[in-house]
Chain A
Amino acid sequence: MFCEKSLNLIKELDRSTEAMPAFDDDGVRQVFEEMRGLYDQNVAAANDSTADPDGTAIAGIAIRHAALERNKRCLMAYVYNRIRKVRNMRWQFGSILPPEIKANLCEPEIQWFNSYSKTLALYMKSIGDQGLNLAQDVKPPKSLYVEVRSLTDYGKFEMDNGEVVLLKKHSTHLMSRAQCEPLIIQGILEQITH
């Protein structure tokens, strides 16, 4: 059956809803080979049409062409959906990706991520007079200072006004919201309610 390998790529993406699977270089290459094979067969059959008076070759050409289109669609969808996930990662992880996730991306995807980060930073700087950090205050803030609890042994954290806080596991702190928001989103701190 045609297009089985490209379908496998798509199925792999469908299975892993949250995590990003590794970029399947091999799979993509095999799909290209299949496409090339189909194209060659089609060209041969088209050139050979003289030997086929009742037009049955057209059926074969049509089927192979449909398979080609299908392969193309699967590959495009594979790349497109992966890039959407990478874009999402910029907003969730920040501009630096953890190494485990980076290992699953192929080189062009990493380049895409970097240039997206750059474009985003440029755009953020251009808003207003001083620029606006769009990743901050995603939910409307209710207070200037928030109470947070440290979930990991992060170590010393230096704040904008020079104060240094030791973020050890189980310690509770009252810090300014702007400072600790990125840490909360990264999962290092946890905001507590009272």
Chain B
Amino acid sequence: MYVDNVIEGFYNAVNGSRVLLFVNYDIDAICAARILQHLFRCDTIAYTLVPVSGIQDLRQAYEENCEEVKYVVLVNCGGTIDIVELLEPEEHVIFYLLDSHRPTDLCNVFSSSQVRIIGNSDPEEGIPEFDDVFREDSDEEEDNSGEDSDPEESRAAKRMRMSEEAILKRRENRLWAEKRDRIVFNYTQFSYYGKASAVQMFELALSLSKDTTDLLWCAIIGVTEQYLLGKVEKQQYVLDSGTLQGYVSKLSHNLDEDPTEAANSTPVTVPRISFTKDLQLALYRHWTVEASLRHSMYSACKLKLWTLKGERRLHELLVDMGLPLVQSRQKFSAMDMVLRQEFHSMIEKLAEKYELDQLVFASFILQYGFRNKYCASDVVYSMLALLESTGREKSSKDCFLEAMDALSRPKKNLLEDGIEKAKVMLTSIFKMVQAALDMQMVISGGPFLYFIIQEGALNARQFSHPHTLILLAQFVLQAYVMVRKKKATNLPLIASAPLDADEGTCLVVGIPPVIEDSPKNFFGKAFEQAAEKTNARAQLDYFDSSVMKLKMEDRSKFFDALAALLS
């Protein structure tokens, strides 16, 4: 059931009792959770927040925490699975789903009592009609009731009548079931992402008149994450950032009421968000120009920076910009003032010549104080690196809490720490891409390409996390397409990295081919079917259905089954 009026249907309903929050391990979920925490804090709605990484985790956490809880909010988790069936809750428990994963499970959509989905149903999702998908099992009852009624009719006549009706009914049921299966298959075939949860929560805050710059920044991070990880296409991002820009101007209007007095009115420490054209160079403000150009997916692929020729083009570009090599190897903040100011405009001018036309995109910058200036994508990379920086002493839940704390302004050192880790992450991604292309590690498996990171490879540990592996897979595919030109544009890529040495499992992600603009991913269903067919010991545990865990020994036969399935 969809809850249109979010305030009435959700916020006022939970006011006064304890709420249980389950949050998935992704940046959008963390941002949405922060906004929700802020709102709950303002209205003293007691809550308990538990991070969950997968379906099993969700089930276990629910079992532990469910005592005396009436309202459960699921942020970016559980939308694509039948919640009521999975968690087996009591009758009075109500679930509120805030999930940007699509397609939403039909049982959740049509549940009349226990499951409420926050937001509106989007006609583009193509949710089938209720009658097409669900039908009360009344045919069985009718058979039985038919037998009980009218005992006076003679046996034979009844049987005749019964069998005719029965045959017709069965045929009808069969046709209906076939149609239903087809509709459900079409509906669940592709997995993709809808509106960012963080934006929905910000709109809730807006309607409660509790929006602040910090909350808006959380929403911006959520949207930027969707764009950077390839979860939504560029058009969608432009639309979303347009709406957000409206909110930005609304909030900053209060600050700069009189432009002539701007210098005296607001202190510099007040955080401000500005909407500007920015470059798609990862972390360039906190890194050297050369490193940033090399490790960002877009520039690296267009200039083919893993080859020698590419390096020469890079140097040509720098020369054209008037940036001496020495300067480009220094930290951006340590470069000459003049060069820094002109950097933006010079790159824009040269973008066409070097085929970097999409380098400029619209983004948001947060500034508070004199030193702290962060672009939205900086924060996304930083939080991703923090989220996936598990080590021996740091469990994944520690990382989750760290990533969440990085959004708060007093904990700025966490953000800086994350930026350093992000640099390491991007560098190792680039190195892996270079190795993959040099050593021909991208193999064609028939209807798809695949790329396996062996266990002893350099930095293999870094890639045993979903987000880093997805970034790597996207980079590899883009780079491969640049090398092979036309041949590979319509092939999807599957990447696999070792996950746990003790258990012998590996992580497998699948990304759609380059030629299709939309990020609709069909690997969720494909993985499921292939696993069933080969009886591979696979765990489709993640909420993002294009990521799964698999036992290493079953990997090859799993890939064979996939190839058979997709051809």
Interface residue ranges, A against B (CB under 8 Å): 144-145, 147, 149, 156, 162-166, 168-176, 192-194
Say whether A173 contacts B67, CB under 8 Å: no
Contacts of B64 in A (CB 8 A): 166, 168
Nearest chain-A residue to B64 (Cβ)? A166
Say whether A166 contacts B67, CB under 8 Å: yes
Say whether A145 contacts B49, CB under 8 Å: no
Contacts of A147 in B (CB 8 A): 37, 41
A171–B400 CA distance with the chains assembled, in angstroms: 11
Residue B466 CB within 8 A of the other chain: no
Minimum distance in angstroms from B172 CB to a CB of chain A = 50
**Which one of B38, B44, B45, B68 lies within 8 Å of A144 (CB-CB)?**
B44
Most buried by A among B46, B68, B400: B46
Say whether A173 contacts B48, CB under 8 Å: yes
Contacts of A174 in B (CB 8 A): 37, 40-41, 44-48
Say whether B410 contacts A145, CB under 8 Å: no
In chain B, positions 531-550 with a C-beta closer than 8 Å to chain A are: none
Contacts of A165 in B (CB 8 A): 18, 48
Say whether A171 contacts B68, CB under 8 Å: no
Say whether A193 contacts B48, CB under 8 Å: no
**Which one of B49, B408, B410 lies within 8 Å of A173 (CB-CB)?**
B49
Minimum distance in angstroms from B92 CB to a CB of chain A = 15
Contacts of A173 in B (CB 8 A): 46-49
Minimum distance in angstroms from A87 CB to a CB of chain B = 36
Q: CB-CB contacts of B113-133 with A at 8 A, as 1s and 0s? A: 000000000000000000000
Contacts of A176 in B (CB 8 A): 46
Minimum distance in angstroms from B541 CB to a CB of chain A = 19
Residue B397 CB within 8 A of the other chain: yes
In chain B, positions 378-427 with a C-beta closer than 8 Å to chain A are: 395, 397-398, 400-401, 405, 408, 410
Most buried by A among B44, B48, B67, B395: B48
Say whether A163 contacts B68, CB under 8 Å: yes
A193–B411 CA distance with the chains assembled, in angstroms: 9
Say whether B48 contacts A172, CB under 8 Å: yes
**Which one of A170, A175, A192, A194 lies within 8 Å of B46 (CB-CB)?**
A175
The A interface is mostly helix, strand or loop, or mixed, namely strand
Say whether A164 contacts B46, CB under 8 Å: no
Say whether A168 contacts B50, CB under 8 Å: yes
Say whether A163 contacts B48, CB under 8 Å: no
Contacts of A172 in B (CB 8 A): 37, 48-49, 401
**Which one of B37, B41, B44, B401 lies within 8 Å of A170 (CB-CB)?**
B401
Say whether A170 contacts B18, CB under 8 Å: no
How many residues from B make CB contacts under 8 Å with A? 25
**Which one of B41, B50, B67, B395 lies within 8 Å of A145 (CB-CB)?**
B41
Contacts of B45 in A (CB 8 A): 174
Residue B510 CB within 8 A of the other chain: no
Residue B51 CB within 8 A of the other chain: yes
Contacts of A171 in B (CB 8 A): 48-50, 65
Nearest chain-A residue to B411 (Cβ)? A193
A170–B41 CA distance with the chains assembled, in angstroms: 19
Nearest chain-B residue to A175 (Cβ)? B46
A171–B49 CA distance with the chains assembled, in angstroms: 6
Say whether B44 contacts A163, CB under 8 Å: no
13 additional A-B pairs beyond A164-B68, A169-B397, A194-B41, beta carbons within 8 Å, are: A145-B46, A163-B18, A166-B64, A168-B65, A171-B48, A172-B37, A172-B49, A174-B40, A174-B44, A175-B46, A192-B405, A193-B408, A194-B408
CB<8 Å pairs between A and B, sample of 25: A145-B44, A149-B401, A156-B67, A163-B18, A163-B68, A164-B67, A164-B68, A166-B48, A169-B397, A170-B51, A170-B395, A170-B397, A171-B65, A172-B49, A172-B401, A173-B46, A173-B47, A174-B37, A174-B45, A174-B46, A175-B46, A192-B405, A193-B410, A194-B38, A194-B41
A25–B457 CA distance with the chains assembled, in angstroms: 61
Contacts of A169 in B (CB 8 A): 397
Most buried by B among A156, A173, A176: A173
Nearest chain-A residue to B401 (Cβ)? A170
Minimum distance in angstroms from A181 CB to a CB of chain B = 15
A144–B47 CA distance with the chains assembled, in angstroms: 14
A172–B65 CA distance with the chains assembled, in angstroms: 12
A174–B39 CA distance with the chains assembled, in angstroms: 12
- The 4 A-B residue pairs with the shortest CB-CB distance, nearest first, are A170-B397, A172-B49, A145-B44, A173-B48
Say whether B408 contacts A170, CB under 8 Å: no
Minimum distance in angstroms from A75 CB to a CB of chain B = 46
A169–B18 CA distance with the chains assembled, in angstroms: 19
A194–B407 CA distance with the chains assembled, in angstroms: 9
In chain B, positions 50-76 with a C-beta closer than 8 Å to chain A are: 50-51, 64-65, 67-68
In chain B, positions 61-110 with a C-beta closer than 8 Å to chain A are: 64-65, 67-68
Contacts of B68 in A (CB 8 A): 162-164
Minimum distance in angstroms from A77 CB to a CB of chain B = 43
Nearest chain-A residue to B395 (Cβ)? A170
Minimum distance in angstroms from B108 CB to a CB of chain A = 25
Contacts of A194 in B (CB 8 A): 37-38, 41, 408
A147–B44 CA distance with the chains assembled, in angstroms: 10
Minimum distance in angstroms from A188 CB to a CB of chain B = 15
Minimum distance in angstroms from B198 CB to a CB of chain A = 16
Contacts of A156 in B (CB 8 A): 67
Minimum distance in angstroms from A54 CB to a CB of chain B = 76
In chain B, positions 506-559 with a C-beta closer than 8 Å to chain A are: none
Contacts of B400 in A (CB 8 A): 170
